[in-house]
Amino acid sequence: MTAPARILVVDDEASLRQMMDVLLRRMGHVVEQASGVREARERLDAATTPFDLVVTDLMMADGTGLEVLDHARAISTETQMLVVTAHGSVETAVDAMRRGAYCYLEKPLSVNEARAQVEKALEKRSLLKDNVSLRIITRGLTPEGGSGSLIGRSTAFQTAMEFVRRAAPNRASVLITGESGTGKELFARAIHTSSDRSSGPFVVVNCGAIPADLVESELFGHEKGSYTGASSKTLGMFRQADTGTLFLDEVGEIPLPLQVKLLRALQERKVRPVGGTMEIPVDTRIVAATNRDLAQMVKDKLFREDLYYRLNVLRLHLPPLRERREDLPALIEHFRSRFAAENGRAFVSFSPEALRLMLAHQWPGNVRELENAVERAVTLAQGARSSATTCRPSSSAPRASPARESCCCRPRGCSSRPRSRTSSAASSGRRSSAPRAYARTRRRTWG
Ligand SMILES: Nc1ncnc2c1ncn2[C@@H]1O[C@H](COP(=O)(O)OP(=O)(O)OP(=O)(O)O)[C@@H](O)[C@H]1O
Ligand SMILES: [Mg+2]
């Protein structure tokens, strides 16, 4: 049972509107009705606080439910939306999802199904409400829709956001685990941004990218002349991150001999620069990340157990994208609008076919792979602006997309034209396979 919500029901058939109205009022909600797209827009505009939920028919005499979705979404991204239609098809369902619809209900309506979906959508709405304060803080540093925004809808994503909110005010170390490209660094930034250290620095050290013999001086600094080539004194990342957060990326790569020094720095909150005699106090919060199994590394004696426990005080695990597919529509739309805006092609959109393929793909490279794939597709669409209005990047999802299928994106508003077929590139499942496949097609199509 959810708390009373304000719901707008949009349908040009009075009987169906009435039926939904009765159902929702019985559930204890406050309902307004609109008999078409124009009236829906007026009611959305007139509302002093955004509706919690919009339930809209898809095909109406004066327009489509997708227009209602777009209008509601422009007013508030927290408003949930359910689309009802007698014209069920993959294309419209996918398009509705892309525009933020929570779910798709087919006519004739089953009362039980409608009730269940309304409850689910409202549960999601209340989760979003709880997270509003956190998003506002995050927005302060990363404009909505910008490259630092955290996007997602799945329960796993909501749980991670809840973790950020709880972990932020602490000083305790955080260990973020997850496959490559799941968003570990983005979440680390969110923890920093949401904390009272946000005015301090956020310093990133990629422990895997520094030569083993330089890691100590990178982390703790060095005195002038402390080793060959140390021509001047350096502060080191710990001290650079003083009053802020130090993000130790790929922490599993820290050489064993140095792990004891790192542990000491964490325990004592002091660092000793290479070649120095004094220990210098630092006030740095540590967020570490790894895509390796640190517990197994401890068992294999490749990682110190005491350091593992010291880093693992608070733990955030980010599941792979294939296990939180609910995040896909929002992420696809986020990257589409970002790259379309960056390329001055705001009208570029994905065809239903392209969306269907993207929603079915396993994304072994997670959000990074998706981001790259969308960027390439948007770039290809841009290249298509003169004669051909379609582009045909091959799919990298062999299981989900048979060889004869392909991805396509076209400027919104253009009708679909006959497209040349390209065979799907066999993918080895490596994370860069999609971008490569897209690039291959580009060469074939435009080069
Ligand atoms: N929830 C999300 N919303 C928006 N963008 C995201 C999200 N998660 C990840 N990204 C984007 O995906 C890309 C990869 O994310 P990030 O670098 O944080 O992953 P990672 O887990 O640190 O990867 P790696 O282990 O390879 O370092 C980044 O461009 C990031 O902005
Ligand atoms: Mg990373």
Instruction: Please tell me if the CB atom of residue 54 comes closer than 6 angstroms to any atom of ligand 1.
Output: no
Query: How far apart (Å, rounded) are the C-alpha atoms in residues 419 and 327?
Result: 29
- Classify residue 146: in a domain, yes or no: no
What pLDDT does residue 430 have?
25
- Classify residue 392: in a domain, yes or no: yes
Query: Are both 305 and 164 inside the same structural domain?
Result: yes
Q: Whose CA is nearest to atom 15 of ligand 1?
A: 183
Atom of ligand 1 nearest to the CA of 176: 21
Query: How far apart (Å, rounded) are the C-alpha atoms in residues 229 and 321?
Result: 44
Query: Are both 106 and 188 inside the same structural domain?
Result: no
- Classify residue 140: in a domain, yes or no: no
**CA 177 remoteness from chain centre:** 16
What pLDDT does residue 227 have?
66
Q: 357 CA distance to ligand 1 centroid (A)?
A: 21
Sign of the Cα torsion 144, 145, 150, 155 reads positive
pTM exceeds 0.75:
no
Highest average pLDDT, of 153-157, 162-166, 182-186, comes from: 182-186
What pLDDT does residue 59 have?
86
Into how many domains does the chain fold?
A: 3
**Angle, in degrees to the nearest 10, between helices 111-141 and 184-194:** 70
pLDDT mean across residues, the chain? 77
What pLDDT does residue 93 have?
59
What pLDDT does residue 229 have?
66
Query: How far apart (Å, rounded) are the C-alpha atoms in residues 171 and 254?
Result: 22
Query: Are both 349 and 399 inside the same structural domain?
Result: yes
Q: Whose CA is nearest to atom 23 of ligand 1?
A: 181
As given in the structure block, the two tokens for residue 400 are 């989900």
Atom of ligand 1 nearest to the CA of 150: 3
Query: Are both 275 and 395 inside the same structural domain?
Result: no
How many C-beta atoms lie closer than 10 Å to residue 235's C-beta? 16
pLDDT in tens, 292-334: 999 999 999 999 999 999 999 999 999 999 999 989 988 998 8
Q: 210 CA distance to ligand 2 centroid (A)?
A: 15
Residue 202 belongs to what domain range? 155-319
Query: Are both 336 and 427 inside the same structural domain?
Result: yes
Q: 366 CA distance to ligand 1 centroid (A)?
A: 8
111 falls in which pLDDT band (50, 70, 90)?
Answer: confident
What pLDDT does residue 97 have?
65
The CATH number that applies at residue 197 is 3.40.50.300
- Classify residue 272: in a domain, yes or no: yes
Last residue of a domain, one of 319, 350, 369: 319
Beta strand 314-318 pairing with 245-249:
unpaired
Q: 107 CA distance to ligand 2 centroid (A)?
A: 45
The CATH number that applies at residue 61 is 3.40.50.2300
Query: How far apart (Å, rounded) are the C-alpha atoms in residues 424 and 398?
Result: 7
pLDDT at residue 408 is higher than 50: no
Q: 209 CA distance to ligand 1 centroid (A)?
A: 18
What pLDDT does residue 414 have?
27
pLDDT at residue 439 is higher than 70: no
The ligand with the least distance to the CA atom of 176 is 1
What pLDDT does residue 30 have?
94
Q: Which range among 123-137, 167-181, 331-345 shows the weakest confidence by mean pLDDT?
A: 123-137
Atom of ligand 1 nearest to the CA of 147: 31
Last residue of a domain, one of 285, 301, 319: 319
Instruction: Please tell me if the CB atom of residue 151 comes closer than 6 angstroms to any atom of ligand 1.
Output: yes
Query: Are both 253 and 351 inside the same structural domain?
Result: no
- Classify residue 252: in a domain, yes or no: yes
pLDDT in tens, 132-145: 433 333 333 343 44
As given in the structure block, the two tokens for residue 149 are 């925004």
Atom of ligand 1 nearest to the CA of 157: 1
8 Å CB contact between 82 and 121: yes
Q: 184 CA distance to ligand 2 centroid (A)?
A: 6
- Classify residue 260: in a domain, yes or no: yes
Query: How far apart (Å, rounded) are the C-alpha atoms in residues 252 and 118?
Result: 45
- CA-based end-to-end distance of the chain: 58
Query: Are both 298 and 430 inside the same structural domain?
Result: no
Comparison of pLDDT for 413 and 192, the residue scoring more: 192
Q: Whose CA is nearest to atom 18 of ligand 1?
A: 183
Query: Are both 246 and 280 inside the same structural domain?
Result: yes
Query: Are both 161 and 292 inside the same structural domain?
Result: yes
What pLDDT does residue 303 have?
96
pLDDT in tens, 24-83: 999 999 999 999 999 999 999 888 788 999 999 988 999 988 889 888 877 777 788 888
Instruction: Please tell me if the CB atom of residue 221 comes closer than 6 angstroms to any atom of ligand 1.
Output: no
**Per DSSP, which regions of 268-413 are E strands?**
270-271, 280-281, 285-290, 314-318, 348-350, 409-411
- Classify residue 136: in a domain, yes or no: no
> With the CA atoms of 306, 307, 310 and 314 taken in that order, what torsion angle do they form, in degrees rounded to the nearest 10?
-120
Instruction: Please tell me if the CB atom of residue 206 comes closer than 6 angstroms to any atom of ligand 1.
Output: no
Instruction: Please tell me if the CB atom of residue 337 comes closer than 6 angstroms to any atom of ligand 1.
Output: no
Query: How far apart (Å, rounded) are the C-alpha atoms in residues 302 and 294?
Result: 9
8 Å CB contact between 26 and 44: no
Query: Are both 220 and 243 inside the same structural domain?
Result: yes
The CATH number that applies at residue 392 is 1.10.8.60
- Classify residue 279: in a domain, yes or no: yes
As given in the structure block, the two tokens for residue 269 are 């909150």
Query: Are both 57 and 162 inside the same structural domain?
Result: no
Atom of ligand 1 nearest to the CA of 149: 4
Instruction: Please tell me if the CB atom of residue 291 comes closer than 6 angstroms to any atom of ligand 1.
Output: yes
Last residue of a domain, one of 131, 147, 171: 131
What pLDDT does residue 443 have?
23
Query: Are both 372 and 248 inside the same structural domain?
Result: no
Residues with CB under 5 A from ligand 2 (ion): 185
**What are the beta bridge partners of residue 33?**
9
What pLDDT does residue 92 have?
67
pLDDT in tens, 236-278: 899 999 999 999 999 999 999 899 999 999 999 999 998 888 8
